[in-house]
Amino acid sequence: MRNVALRLKYDGSRYHGWQVQKNEITVAQTLEEALSKVCGHPVKTVGCGRTDAGVHALRYCANFRTDCRIPIDRFPLAVNARLPGDIAVTDAAEAPEDFNAIGSCIKKEYVYKIHNSSIRDPFLEKRVCFYPQALDMALMQRAARAFEGTHDFRAVRSVGTETKTTVRTVYWCRAEKEGELITVSICADGFLYNMCRAMVGTMVYASYGKLLPEEIPALLERGDRRLTGPTMPPQGLYLNRLWYDGPVGRMFMD
Bridge partners (DSSP) listed for residue 8: 60, 89
Q: Is 97 helix (H, G, I), strand (E, B) or coil?
A: coil
CA dihedral 117, 176, 170, 99 (to 10 degrees): 90
Q: Is 23 helix (H, G, I), strand (E, B) or coil?
A: coil
Is 52 one of the catalytic residues?
yes
User: How many CA atoms lie within 13 Å of 3's alpha carbon, on the beta-carbon side?
Assistant: 11
Element (H, E) at 195: helix 195-207
**Which residue, 97, 3, 11, 74, is CA-closest to 45?**
3
Which of 11, 52, 136, 152 is labelled catalytic?
52
User: What's the DSSP call for residue 99?
Assistant: -
Q: Which residues are catalytic?
A: 52
